[in-house]
Structure 1
């Protein structure tokens, strides 16, 4: 969540002393330097403190979830996919918004003032589900496992990796619904890359040198 936008509505003593106009914040601080976007007048002024509201946050982490709260600017626009920090008794966590609950239902975007509950999932450290098959290509002998990795860990299609005692080559990446910045929800071309926090499931080829067994 942003601490302060780069623009703010203020009266301008030069061209609009009674009506607020958009001003650019050139230099923040106790006495900020601002410029009126209508007439270009530059001055120093004390910026008003934004009003804040406390909102409930539900954090999903693997199979578990817990509730906490955050203070956020009342008029800040929240949206699904946005990430921010929450502080708990145990740790400070990075979370990603998965849904915004309003009085009349859920939405993907809304100002904080209208939101009752912010639904999120932890993305600092994540679990990635993996489906693997042996080098022989026998897909009826596939098996599954789960990797625990940092949320920003990168997986690349057709690159070999070794994690948690598993040696494998990534063949396909299925993305989560809240992943942004990707053209498709499935990545399977050589060099396609995704970070762990965006991944719903990895499909890989087992590269173990020992005799392969699903057991």
Structure 2
């Protein structure tokens, strides 16, 4: 027969574990939001000299320093002033076409068959497309910088690439997954990466806002980044 002390002790331990999990989850979400504000996409001289990758900003200011989240290399960097240009986008979907306008960095280069998400500056509509034509003046080119592009023609596509950050304590593993544009990412549910499930704790929305309340959802085409965590296993199992 169990004593009242044993029952009380056992109940207290379960309550403590639940409270600990709650605070750990809350702190985790707060840390994620703070970290997102201290992250930047820049080129890494060690592992990615040609393409931008996610970095953690270690030292902001006039002489900033960042750490690559892919290889861990720490280096200084410069943030160039980015000029933006309004570009006309013609999106075809079967027999229908819609004209949109979006802001793009002038120095960014696009290629035929590139995939990217168009966000209309007038309506706020978001559509993933595959580029079919790059119109530069009276010429059509296989590739061009935004500053030379007058119109981008594209075909609406079903799947888009979504960036996922899988975190465990101080370690972040970046990943990318392909999902339908209308796929729902739900806070509290799992996201599958390389065949493994990771619980979603926060979602960064295009435009800068966060969704971190359990049950909140965002369509894939409106997601900037999904934050998930690696399960931590304790004496009584996962929590």
* TM bucket normalised to smaller: 0.3 to 0.5
Please identify which structure carries the higher strand content. 1
Instruction: Give the TM-score taking structure 2 as reference length.
Output: 0.37
Larger RCO (alpha carbons 8 Å, 6+ apart): 1
Q: For the pair shown, which has the larger CA radius of gyration, 1 or 2?
A: 1
Instruction: Give the TM-score taking structure 1 as reference length.
Output: 0.40
Please identify which structure carries the higher helix content. 2
